[in-house]
Amino acid sequence: MLEGDTLVHTLDIYHAHAIKKKFKRDRVVCSAHLPKENWDLVKFRTGPKLMSGELMLDMMQEASLLGCRVELDFAGRERDRNELLAKVKDLRRVRSFRAEWEASVPGGPVLKFVSYPGCFCHRRKDDGGLALAEVVSRELQERGANGVKLLDMGCGCGLVGLLVNSVVPCELTLIDSHSRAIEAAEENIARFGAKAKTVLSDDGTGETGFDVFAGNPPYYSDYRIAEVFLDTARRCLKPGGVCYTVVKNAENLRPVQEKYFDSVEVIHRRGYAVLKSHA
Ligand SMILES: C[S@@+](CC[C@H](N)C(=O)[O-])C[C@H]1O[C@@H](n2cnc3c(N)ncnc32)[C@H](O)[C@@H]1O
């Protein structure tokens, strides 16, 4: 697959780093859309276990619109493969997969977020993220905080940081490893006129001096990614800064968070547990 003059495209910077390391290649790009060059062939590896149906369709449509030969390397049933091909057959009907949906925290305005396939969450708000935003914004309001320097790691479309910012003005940094998340977060920052910057990264940031860290990590890799989040929190928070993470079951994450912080307080909200620690 990696023979010849090949450029490898990924949506997630974690995959780009892994491919570079394994195949010792420089020609790897991570971006929200396929690079528009004069390609002879686009080989698209996909399947229901690799990405959502909407993302498959969106990427397949993008590949087809490049106007070169497209080869589908489909991991899944023949029937699903044919269905995907049939859906992108007529390129006169280019579909948009952009979604808009609303979210708010108590006392704040209703914000209309934008999301794209591949970005977490697409088409809806995540209850874990919402629980985290509600707890962080409530606590910052109670403290009368203003101009807080807040790091939202695993920001997705920016739900947590931008909701907190809607009630407590913040200096925001939004980090995610997925290029589609960063694309959506940037659009949402502009929509809401927030003071914020984005970072595409799978290993946090070297920046320090944050007052608050908020993270809703994915838990599909046991706690490996949660540890990357917590390690970043410990390094980037200033003394007295506060780290908030969210999880379904506090008892699973608590011992992991205790490796990075002296104590952990659990705050229950919306069927989730927000774990709070002081730097
Ligand atoms: C559960 S989602 C949370 C999204 C958003 N904060 C919310 O609450 O709706 C986790 C996010 O973490 C991102 N992610 C996964 N691994 C990461 C890493 N190593 N560094 C930064 N972000 C990562 C995913 O791309 C995803 O957007």
List, for residues 88-126, the tens digit of each pLDDT value: 888 778 899 999 999 999 999 999 999 999 999 999 999
163 neighbors 108 (Cβ within 8 angstroms): yes
For residue 217, the CA-to-ligand 1 centroid distance in Å is: 5
C-alpha radius of gyration, the chain, whole number: 20
Q: Residue 3: its pLDDT value, please? A: 62
Q: Which atom of ligand 1 is nearest to the CA of 178?
A: 25
Instruction: Give the pLDDT band (50/70/90) at residue 15.
Output: very high
pTM for the model stands at 0.95
3-state SS of 186-245 is: HHHHHHHCCCEEEEECCCCCCCCCEEEEEECCCCEEEEHHHHHHHHHHHHHEEEEEEEEE
- What angle, 0 to 180 degrees and rounded to 10, lies between the N-to-C axes of helices 179-192 and 159-167? 20
Q: Where do the domains of the chain lie?
A: 118-278
Q: Which atom of ligand 1 is nearest to the CA of 14?
A: 19
DSSP-assigned beta bridge partners for residue 220? 222
Class of domain 118-278: alpha beta
For residue 186, the CA-to-ligand 1 centroid distance in Å is: 15
With a pLDDT cut of 90, the percent of the chain lying above it is 90
Q: Residue 4: its pLDDT value, please? A: 66
List, for residues 119-153, the tens digit of each pLDDT value: 999 999 999 999 999 999 999 999 999 899 999 99
Q: Residue 2: its pLDDT value, please? A: 57
Task: Determine whether the shortest distance from the Cβ of 175 to ligand 1 is under 6 A.
Answer: yes
> What's the CA gap between 179 and 4, in Å, rounded?
26
Q: Which atom of ligand 1 is nearest to the CA of 129?
A: 8
